[in-house]
Amino acid sequence: MRRPSIHELIRLPEKQAVKQYLDGGNFNVLKQMLLAWGTVLTIGAIVLLSENHFDQAWIWSAALLATLAIYVARGTHFLQDNLRPILGIYLVCLLLVFARTLDEPGAVFAFAGFLFPGLLLAFRLRWYEYLALLSIFLATTAWVVVTTDLAPQAGSRIGMLIAAVAWSCAIFGLSQRFTRRRVERFVRDWRAESLREREQSRMRDELNSAREMQLSMLPRHDPEMDWLDFSGVSLPASEVGGDYFEHFKVTDSVLAVVIGDVAGHGMASGLVLSGVRSGLYLLRENLTSPVEVLERLNRLVRETAPRRMFVTLQIAVLNAETRRLTVANAGHPPLVRLDSSTGKTGVLGTSGLPLGTQLKPEFTVVERPLESGDVLVFHTDGVLEVGDRHEETFGEARLLREVERTGRRSSARQIRDSILNEVSRFKGDVSQSDDLTLVVARFIP
C-alpha cells in the first residue's frame, strides 16, 4: 500500500478519497516504524535470552513476531481496510510489553507518558482515535506512578501526572491541527482536480458524439453502378476530423465525386464541414456545373465560417455516356489519374485558391476522356504530408508510384488498401498528425 495520488482518487466519493489518502500516509509511517521497532525488539530479545530472562524474552519475541507479521501483511487488503484499528492495537500491545517487562519504572513512565503519545504526531487519525489512544497511554502512566516507587511523595506524583496530561493535551491539539490542515489541502486539490476531470469527461463525451455525427456524414455504401468500381475511406486524426468525401448519383450514367478538407481538425473543422455538406446537398442538382457550385459554396464559407477557416474542395463529374471526366478544384490537391492505355500516372489540374478567402477566386475546369480501366485517386493532403521518424513526408511521387504499381489489375478497394498499407509502412510508429482521406474509382464501361 502507498499514498495514492489525487488522480487515482478523483473518481471516489470525497469521504472515501480522504480516508484512502490519509491511510496511505499512515501506512508509510507505520512501515518505517515497524522496521525501527523490529530492530529494537530483536536486540531486546537477544539481550534477555543472554541474561536468562526467559519469561520476559518470550514476550519480546512474541511482539517481534507480531511486528514481522504486520510488515509481511502490509500489501493485503485486510491490513489496508483495517489499518487504523491495527495501528492502535499494535501501539497499545507494544506499550503493554514494555510495561510488563521493563524493571525500571522511570523508563515505563517515559514510554507511556511521552514517547508513545509523541508517536501519534506522525499519524493522521480521527479525533476520537487520538483520544482513545491517549487515554490508554495516560491510564498506563497513572498506573506506573501510583503502583511503583517512582515518586514516593504525593506532590511529585501529582506533578508527574499533570506533566503527562499536559503533554497529551498538546499532542492532541497539534495532531488535530496537522490532520485538519492536511485534509483541507487535500480536499481543496481533490475538488479542483475532480472538477477538471468532470469537465474533461464532459468534453470527451461531447467530442465522441461529434465524432459519431461527423463519421455519419461520410457515405455508408459505395455507389452501385455497373460502369464504376469505387472505394473510399476517411481516417480522422482526432475526435472530430476536417476531411470529407461524398458521391452523388446525378443520373444512372453520371456520378459526382466530392472530396474536401477544412483547415486543421477538431470541433471547429467539424462544424464548418457540416455546413459545407449541407450546402452540397442543397446544390446536388447543379453538380454537373461544378464551377457554379464552388462559387456558391465559397460565399457560404466566407460569410459563415470563422476567419482564417478555409476549405479545400474538389468536384469531379464522371459521365459514362459521354466517357468524359470533368474536374473543378478549389485549393485541393489535384487528383491522380492512371491512364490505362499507357500505364502511366499523372495529376489533373492545379489546386488554386480554397473556399473562404477574401480574394476573388477563379475556378477552372479540366476535362479529360475516360477510357476503360482508367483509375482515379482522390486524396487529401493528409496522405501526402504523412511523416516518418526522420521528418520526411510521403509525398506525391510515392503516391504516383504506388498507384502505377497496383492500379493496372487491382480493384478499387485493393488499390485503396495498398496505398494505405504503404503509408502505414512509411510512417512506422509515428502518430497520424492530420486527417487522411482516400477515394479510388476505376472506370469499367
Most confident option among 43-47, 120-124, 318-322:
318-322
Burial class (CB in 10 A: 0-12, 13-18, 19+), 342: exposed
Residue 42 lies in a domain: yes
User: Residue 2: its pLDDT value, please?
Assistant: 61
Residues 21 and 161 in one domain: yes
Residue 7 burial by Cβ neighbours in a 10 Å radius (0-12, 13-18, 19+): exposed
Last residue in a domain, options 165, 196, 227? 196
Q: Does 231 lie in the same domain as 191?
A: no
Asked whether residue 416 is assigned to any structural domain, the reply reads yes
pTM: 0.61
The 10s digit of each residue's pLDDT in 192-243 is: 888 888 888 887 777 676 667 666 778 888 898 999 999 999 887 765 557 8
Residue 212, in any domain of the structure? no
Q: What is the mean pLDDT of residues 81-110?
A: 85
Report the distance separating Cα 144 and Cα 99, nearest Å. Answer: 8
Q: Is there a domain that residue 202 lies in?
A: no
**What average pLDDT does the segment 162-182 reach?**
92
Domain assignment present for 173: yes
Domain membership of residue 277 (yes or no) is yes
Q: Is residue 209 part of a domain?
A: no
pLDDT for 238 equals 63
Answer yes or no: is 201 within a domain. no
Task: Work out the burial of residue 176: count CB atoms within 10 Å of its CB; fewer than 13 is exposed, 13-18 middle, 19 or more buried.
Answer: middle
Q: Are residues 261 and 363 in the same domain?
A: yes
What is the rounded distance in angstroms from the CA atom of residue 26 to the CA atom of residue 19? 10
As a whole number of angstroms, the distance between CA 404 and CA 199 comes to: 49
Do 83 and 125 belong to one domain? yes
Q: What is the pLDDT of residues 173-187, one digit of tens each?
A: 999 999 999 999 989
Residues 439 and 373 in one domain: yes
Question: pLDDT of 398-439, one tens digit each?
Answer: 999 999 998 877 899 999 999 999 999 988 888 777 778 999
CA 256 – CA 315 distance, rounded (Å): 7
Q: Worst-scoring range by mean pLDDT, 30-34, 101-105, 248-252? A: 101-105
Task: Show the domain range for 284.
Answer: 218-443
- Cα separation, 234 vs 261, in Å, equals 11
Contact present, 377 and 442 (Cβ < 8 Å): no
More confident residue, 374 or 55: 374
Q: What angle do CA 146, 150, 151 make, to 5 degrees?
A: 75
Higher pLDDT, 110 or 270: 110
* Domain CATH code at residue 437: 3.60.40.10
Of 146, 163, 196, which residue constitutes the final position of a domain? 196
pLDDT level of residue 19 (50, 70, 90 thresholds): confident
Let me know: does 441 contact 318? Beta carbons within 8 Å: yes
131 and 228 in one domain? no
Q: Which of 58, 56, 65 is nearest to 38 (CA)?
A: 65
- Answer positive or negative: Cα dihedral of 171, 173, 174, 176: positive
pLDDT above 80 for 163: yes
Query: For the chain, how many structural domains are there in total?
Result: 2
At 360 the pLDDT is 83
The size of the chain, in residues, is: 445
Highest-pLDDT range among 70-74, 161-165, 358-362: 161-165
pLDDT at position 401, please?
92
Do residues 222 and 192 share a domain? no
The percentage of residues in the chain with a pLDDT greater than 90, rounded to a whole number, is: 32
